[in-house]
A and B are shown apart, each in its own frame.
Chain A
């Protein structure tokens, strides 16, 4: 225990409460967390790093209508390990921990460290978790894209025990996932890839050095043997209600001999699969153009990382 005098400070009478939350819960284990969530139904919400649910959006405090917050940040869900044929990532692992991990420096998983580095600022990344990034289900969630091309399996715990959800079936709509209200995302499993795989992530912002969500973001992976592509993954963000895999573009690459021409064609095909909207960050037309550019660059970079 840290040294220091013990002081007691009374709350000042004029101090107002910022958020109208009825109760904050700190469950001692996962079972209790699920119990609390089940007991309060949609009046309860999980809080991990809090960097999505605490900030106001357009002046509105999002958590004012949530009566019960269930803090899962002390349930031992912060871990990264490579065992057997998977990498296991606790849902409570912070973005900075992922960015600093040597596990993701090499070719096959490089997209993860790229995405962690492009997420917000280091002050937010010290709190923000990968689980929160996925469960918030923003169309531009940065970590969703590398995990999509890496075919991650998400493990959710609920009243009936655990279930596995392939990440492709996880995102259902803007801020809407396959999780039930009483479920907690506990783990992300990444199947180990062959050493001949390379992956990368790219993000375009309005201002490349500023904190901002993406105008468009993409992740790609390539598994190649002597310039022949055995499998390809292309995931697109910020250009549809959910982050998704551009399957048509992927199938153009699978089995093909990799060349500048085929990569360019696949990138254009990926842009064709995007359904972007106009918003404060960009127009739909610009997003489409930029998808083709980013996918091309990312594929080139994934190719360089193959076998690294």
Chain B
């Protein structure tokens, strides 16, 4: 199997990596870069646990090969935090008790982050539709929806992807 050298911009830094053609982005993030905040649930595109932001858009890292994103910019849950302070979305998810086991949370937050980046003042309906990208088996959706509404208000268009 042929190795390839790729360069990707992850959470503010460039990484030069030797990857195999058959490596998925989710595996490279978790196992090569130690960014284990991104979760794998189904591995088939159904659950959204592996959602990251790729060039400003929410995508599923289980359905992307690492070689496909050579030269691209990726943001994971670890890159959201601003200095020592949590990101408004992270704060809102905790203050609104929108997290139970937390397995779906990084995916939900990254999905919401791309939404707010592309649409700074989403209404409740838009947020609900957006969060339907992510399966949550314990908290449900009401609290996450409230958390995203609150975060969008707190952010006032100050977004990062």
Name A residues whose Cβ lies closer than 8 Å to a Cβ of B: 2-12, 14-15, 17-24, 26, 47, 50-51, 54-56, 69, 71, 73, 120-124, 126-127, 209-211
Complex-state Cα separation, A163 to B18, whole angstroms = 39
Known pairs A17-B22, A122-B130; A9 contacts B12 (CB<8 A): no
State which size class the interface on B falls in: 35 or more
The minimal Cβ–Cβ distance linking A26 to chain B, given in whole angstroms, is: 8
Of B57-65, B82-90, B143-151, the stretch lying at the interface with chain A is B57-65
Q: Which residues of B contact A24 (CB under 8 A)?
A: 2, 4, 21, 65, 67-68
Residue of A nearest to B115 (CB): A122
Provide the main secondary structure of the chain B interface: mixed
Q: Would you call B17 an interface residue if the criterion is a C-beta within 8 Å of the partner chain's C-beta atoms?
A: yes
Complex-state Cα separation, A50 to B27, whole angstroms = 16
Name B residues whose Cβ lies closer than 8 Å to a Cβ of A: 1-2, 4, 9, 12-24, 27, 31-33, 43-46, 48, 51, 54, 57-60, 62-65, 67-68, 70, 73, 111, 129-130, 132-133
Closest 6 CB pairs of A and B: A19-B22, A24-B21, A55-B44, A21-B22, A15-B31, A4-B13
The minimal Cβ–Cβ distance linking A14 to chain B, given in whole angstroms, is: 8
Interface centre among A9, A22, A24, A210 (most CB of B within 10 A): A24
Q: Are A15 and B27 in contact (CB under 8 A)?
A: yes
Q: Which residues of A contact B2 (CB under 8 A)?
A: 22-24
Q: Are A54 and B58 in contact (CB under 8 A)?
A: no
Q: Are A123 and B22 in contact (CB under 8 A)?
A: no
Q: Are B45 and A55 in contact (CB under 8 A)?
A: yes
Q: Using A7-B16, A11-B18, A21-B20 as known contacts, list a sample of 14 further A-B pairs with CB atoms less than 8 Å apart, ordered by residue number in A.
A: A2-B9, A5-B14, A6-B13, A9-B17, A12-B32, A18-B22, A18-B23, A20-B22, A50-B63, A71-B68, A120-B45, A124-B60, A126-B54, A211-B46
Complex-state Cα separation, A55 to B16, whole angstroms = 27
Q: Are B63 and A127 in contact (CB under 8 A)?
A: yes
Q: Are A21 and B21 in contact (CB under 8 A)?
A: yes
Q: Are A17 and B23 in contact (CB under 8 A)?
A: yes
Known pairs A2-B73, A55-B45; A122 contacts B19 (CB<8 A): no
Provide the main secondary structure of the chain A interface: loop
State which of B43, B57, B73 has its C-beta within 8 Å of the C-beta of A56: B43
State which of A4, A20, A121 has its C-beta within 8 Å of the C-beta of B48: A121
Known pairs A17-B22, A20-B22, A209-B132; A4 contacts B31 (CB<8 A): no
A/B interface sample: 6 pairs, CB < 8 A = A11-B18, A21-B20, A71-B68, A122-B133, A123-B111, A124-B60
Q: Are B14 and A127 in contact (CB under 8 A)?
A: no
The minimal Cβ–Cβ distance linking A44 to chain B, given in whole angstroms, is: 13
Residue of B nearest to A68 (CB): B21
Known pairs A11-B18, A15-B32; A73 contacts B1 (CB<8 A): no
The minimal Cβ–Cβ distance linking B130 to chain A, given in whole angstroms, is: 7
Q: Which residues of A contact B132 (CB under 8 A)?
A: 121, 209-211
Q: Which residues of B contact A8 (CB under 8 A)?
A: 15-17
Q: Are B14 and A2 in contact (CB under 8 A)?
A: yes
Known pairs A126-B58, A211-B46; A54 contacts B13 (CB<8 A): no
Q: Which residues of B contact A47 (CB under 8 A)?
A: 65, 68
The minimal Cβ–Cβ distance linking A203 to chain B, given in whole angstroms, is: 15
Q: Are B58 and A123 in contact (CB under 8 A)?
A: yes
Residue of A nearest to B54 (CB): A126
Q: Which residues of B contact A5 (CB under 8 A)?
A: 13-14
Q: Are B59 and A4 in contact (CB under 8 A)?
A: no
Q: Are B15 and A7 in contact (CB under 8 A)?
A: yes
Interface centre among A21, A22, A26, A210 (most CB of B within 10 A): A21
Complex-state Cα separation, A2 to B58, whole angstroms = 19
Q: Which residues of A contact B15 (CB under 8 A)?
A: 6-9
Q: Are B27 and A7 in contact (CB under 8 A)?
A: no
Q: Which residues of A contact B31 (CB under 8 A)?
A: 12, 14-15
Q: Which residues of B contact A11 (CB under 8 A)?
A: 17-19, 32
Complex-state Cα separation, A2 to B102, whole angstroms = 31
Complex-state Cα separation, A56 to B31, whole angstroms = 21
